[in-house]
Structure 1
Amino acid sequence: MLSVTSIPAFTDNYIWLLNNDENQCIVVDPGDAAPVIECLEASSLQLIAILITHHHADHTGGINALTERWPEIKVYGPEKENIRGLTHTLTEGDSIDLLGETFDVLDVIGHTRGHIAYLTAGKVFCGDTLFSGGCGRLFEGTPEQMLRSLNKLKSLPDETKVYCAHEYTASNLRFATTVDYGNKALIDYQKNVNELRNNGLSSIPTTIGVEKAINPFLRCDNRDVMFSVNNRKPVTNELETFTELRLWKDNF
């Protein structure tokens, strides 16, 4: 079983570090090399691979410096995006074996046109597609693509741990409670998250089961969420609800 820890970067990014008992490790979405190098050298860890979910600079900016420091490492990323420094490109159906675990690749298009996620041993590293209490903005994809991607993640087992790339939870929940204001599970979760954040602790990882209960973007087929959205603009189905909900969040 791999150990998973976060390396904070910028103001709210998480670079995920996975290591085994033999001091080998991989990192996910290293937007900044400096904190990664500092962490690995302090723990005497050997970097063997980098996993990239999508092309945005806050997820890829550290590739060059890390490959200069560890020139033999493999760099995996989405086939459908042009990312400098990749050694291997991946799409849904591909899998890679690293540190004794198999990482299955999922296409989760919407935030960007080629975004992928990595699923391994009850953990999913989903970049900027699914956040706790929210989802990524649609910079390149369509609402239909993003909803399909979110439903793909929603179909994973409830106990699957969700390792997203940003600490957006408290902000997301302020919006979520505006939409789904009668949801007791959401209200209780917000109290817990606020306590964690007030004590300087991370709200991530979350789980698929938690997100199915509290995240309005995974509840677009829920009567209460649809009713709330319908007060802004008439909606009749899950896709219309998601589309209007994302527009609402963009301007919240």
Structure 2
Amino acid sequence: MHIQSISMWTGKSDNYAYLVVDDKSKDAIIIDPANPDEVAPILNRLLDQKKINLTAIINTHHHWDHSGGNDRIIIGGKDCKLVTETPKDGESFKLGDINVKALYTPCHTQDSICWLMEDSTGRAIFTGDTLFHGGCGRFFEGTSEEMHIALNKTLAAVPDDTKVYPGHEYTKANVKFAMSVLQSEPVKKLHEFAENNKETQGKFTIGDEKQHNVFMRMDDPEIQKATGKTDPIEVMAQLREMKNSFNKPPKRRAPATAEASTPKVRQSKLAKENNITAAEENEIREAFALFAEKRKGVKEGVIPIGDVRRAMIALSITPAPSELHEFLTILDPEDEGFAEFESFLAICALKLHARSRTSDSYIQEVDEAFQLFTSGGGEGKITIATLRKIANDLKEEVGDDLLRDMILEANGGAGVGKGVEKGQFEEVMLRAGVWR
């Protein structure tokens, strides 16, 4: 079995497509060829050289950045079906001497599949956006229980020597978060490897992930301590929430003074028209892009009406059934089956404005995030000492001058010794776009 990684959108979404070739027959499959401009030249060259017999395209899930290139890679013309088989959990087929098995792992999407392959040379698993080195995908269409089952039941049962090939190069960001909750030797080794290697796909096994991936260590006392939970499903849920909100402190915009002003975030015309921040607009764009399909003359593409609710769930603004019917009527008045970006953004903006910051869930989120900064000390406020400790934990070189400026910017210039109280911390996070 020969595996060739094909990098796509490097420096942006850092996707991987994978070409798997049977050594004897040269039969081959391509996995998640989302960007034909980068994938097709490689395939065409190998086909011209008669080094492969391309037999199939397989996808790990339906998101456009994994399956969006199928229609340009497939052979058979515009009338050829893009999806010919939907495998059942555990269903297998042969690629020459390679046994290929589909493992159903719903959560990131409900159609997520991890592809386990094995021949006499070894084992490999292609995990899409379910499992990354040192991390896991967001729970866009599923629950913490589903991700726990996917990672710690389904994938944990795969032989430990199976090499892992994820859908994105996210290792550096994942391990930075992991270091904030678990500073074990395996995590430190992963951190060192990620710092010294731009690509990490296929360099680690399922056995390695069980050691350095915090999302596969629900029983670890340190992780339970960091999350404040012991039930594995609750640990998974809390850990994902912590990862979602794990950001660097806001960058210094100007030297702080006693009259420090509130930093302004640049808004687009569209954001201003809908009274949302630039960060909120970016989040809406990302959610829209997850389900978008290309359409000639439409810059952002369109999303199928059936995916509108999923996109809103990804933004944590799930519409009620009665709302959804009204929204779909607004988004698709001609009943064409698609929605464009600007109208989708307007609907999402309405939901964002309606979301109450006095809700129990929002208050809990603020409390838990604030505790991440103060658990090491600070007597109920963020001090220069607690920021210094966090910087050290993350291996970030941040001078005391910058830390002092961060304190002053957050507390309005009240003084470094005053620290940052919870209300001030919340305002900083709102300005940074971490919360809506």
The normalised TM-score by structure 1 is: 0.87
3-state SS of the aligned residue for 2:197? helix
- Which residue identity does 1:247 align to in structure 2? E
Matched positions, count? 230
Distance in structure 1 (CA, Å) of the matches to 2:125 and 2:22: 17
**Which residue of the partner structure matches residue 421 of structure 2?**
none
| Gap change, CA 1:137 and 1:203, over 3 Å in 2 | same
**Which residue of the partner structure matches residue 10 of structure 1?**
9
1:48 equivalent to 2:55? Answer yes
Comparing both structures, which one devotes a greater share of its residues to helix?
A: 2
- Which residue identity does 1:146 align to in structure 2? M
**Which residue of the partner structure matches residue 78 of structure 1?**
none
- Which residue identity does 1:33 align to in structure 2? P
Q: Where in structure 1 do 4 or more consecutive aligned residues deviate above 6 Å? A: none
1:38 equivalent to 2:41? Answer yes
Q: What is the Cα deviation at residue 89 of structure 1?
A: 1.0
Q: What is the Cα deviation at residue 192 of structure 1?
A: 1.6
3-state SS of the aligned residue for 1:245? helix
Q: What is the Cα deviation at residue 23 of structure 1?
A: 4.0
**Which residue of the partner structure matches residue 141 of structure 2?**
140
Distance in structure 2 (CA, Å) of the matches to 1:36 and 1:86: 19
**Which residue of the partner structure matches residue 182 of structure 2?**
180
Structure 1 contact 105–117 (Cα < 8 Å) conserved: yes
1:71 equivalent to 2:76? Answer yes
Q: What is the Cα deviation at residue 99 of structure 1?
A: 2.7
**Which residue of the partner structure matches residue 80 of structure 1?**
none
- Which residue identity does 1:102 align to in structure 2? N
**Which residue of the partner structure matches residue 195 of structure 1?**
196
Distance in structure 1 (CA, Å) of the matches to 2:54 and 2:76: 10
3-state SS of the aligned residue for 1:16? strand
3-state SS of the aligned residue for 1:162? strand
Distance in structure 2 (CA, Å) of the matches to 1:143 and 1:98: 34
The normalised TM-score by structure 2 is: 0.51
1:97 equivalent to 2:94? Answer yes
| Higher normalized contact order (CA 8 Å, seq sep 6+, divided by chain length) | 1
Measured on the aligned residues, the alpha-carbon RMSD in Å equals: 1.6
Q: What is the Cα deviation at residue 220 of structure 1?
A: 1.2
Structure 1 contact 160–208 (Cα < 8 Å) conserved: yes
Any unmatched runs of 5+ in structure 2? Answer: 247-436
3-state SS of the aligned residue for 1:90? coil
Structure 1 contact 154–212 (Cα < 8 Å) conserved: yes
Structure 1 contact 40–46 (Cα < 8 Å) conserved: no
Larger Rg: 2
Any unmatched runs of 5+ in structure 1? Answer: 76-83
Identity of aligned residues (%): 36
3-state SS of the aligned residue for 1:18? strand
Distance in structure 2 (CA, Å) of the matches to 1:221 and 1:33: 42
Pick aligned residue for 1:29 from 23, 29, 32: 32
Q: What is the Cα deviation at residue 93 of structure 1?
A: 2.4
Within 5 A, what are the aligned runs for 1:233-252?
235-252=229-246
Distance in structure 1 (CA, Å) of the matches to 2:37 and 2:96: 23
Structure 1 contact 217–245 (Cα < 8 Å) conserved: yes
Distance in structure 2 (CA, Å) of the matches to 1:236 and 1:188: 26
1:167 equivalent to 2:169? Answer yes
**Which residue of the partner structure matches residue 125 of structure 2?**
124
**Which residue of the partner structure matches residue 225 of structure 1?**
223
Comparing both structures, which one devotes a greater share of its residues to strand?
A: 1
- Which residue identity does 1:196 align to in structure 2? N
